């Protein structure tokens, strides 16, 4: 029954937003979605308008994700008071693996669970990790696939620019 609800929700998001899977484009509205967070609450992307959002799609089996998470924790803590928020979207099929990694890395930002990977498909995620930077108006301003240490400076520049707008 839960599986049917999740698939139905992903389908509704696609229909309501008018977006087909994998069509996220720069300078276009970020597709809205609702996912369950680690606190058990549903979180809707559109309710975060007014904030600069860094969506980070990750998995427990992803080595580069493990390298990136400490930097994301730092960015979240450093810029949260300026209207910036990291939102992690975990794609693991088993939540226990994700929760173990969240504890190990003491993740300071909200983590949402996309175990059926409907939202990941909606956003065209084809690499782990994948990051989407969204401005205060809900517009996609940057898309990053994978992770390299050099991305740290790029993310920082993008965040600083977007929180000033």
Dump pLDDT digits (tens) for 36-69.
999 999 999 999 999 999 999 999 999 999 999 9
Instruction: Assess contact for 143 and 26: CB atoms under 8 A.
Output: yes
CA distance 89 to 113: 6
Q: What is the pLDDT of residues 61-87, one digit of tens each?
A: 999 999 999 999 999 999 999 999 999
Q: What is the pLDDT of residues 86-129, one digit of tens each?
A: 999 999 999 999 999 999 999 999 999 999 999 999 999 999 99
**Which residues in 12-137 belong to E strands, given as ranges?**
34-37, 42-44, 52-58, 84-90, 111-113, 130-134
Which domains are delineated in the chain? 2-164 (3.40.30.10)
């Amino acid at each position: 029954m839960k599986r049917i609800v999740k698939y139905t929700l992903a389908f509704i998001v696609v229909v309501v937003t008018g977006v087909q899977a994998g069509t996220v484009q720069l300078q276009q509205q970020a597709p809205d979605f609702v996912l369950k967070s680690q606190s058990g609450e549903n979180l809707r992307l559109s309710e975060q308008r007014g904030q600069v959002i860094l969506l980070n799609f990750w998995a427990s089996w992803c080595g580069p994700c493990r390298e990136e998470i400490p930097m994301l924790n730092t960015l979240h803590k450093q810029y949260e008071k300026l209207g910036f928020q990291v939102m992690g979207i975990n794609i693991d099929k088993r939540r226990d693996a994700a929760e173990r990694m969240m504890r190990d890395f003491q993740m300071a930002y909200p983590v949402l669970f996309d175990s059926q990977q409907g939202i990941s498909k909606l956003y065209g995620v084809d690499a782990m990790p994948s990051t989407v930077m969204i401005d205060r108006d809900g517009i996609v301003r940057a898309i990053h696939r994978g992770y390299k240490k050099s991305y740290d400076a790029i993310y920082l520049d993008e965040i600083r620019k977007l929180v000033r707008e």
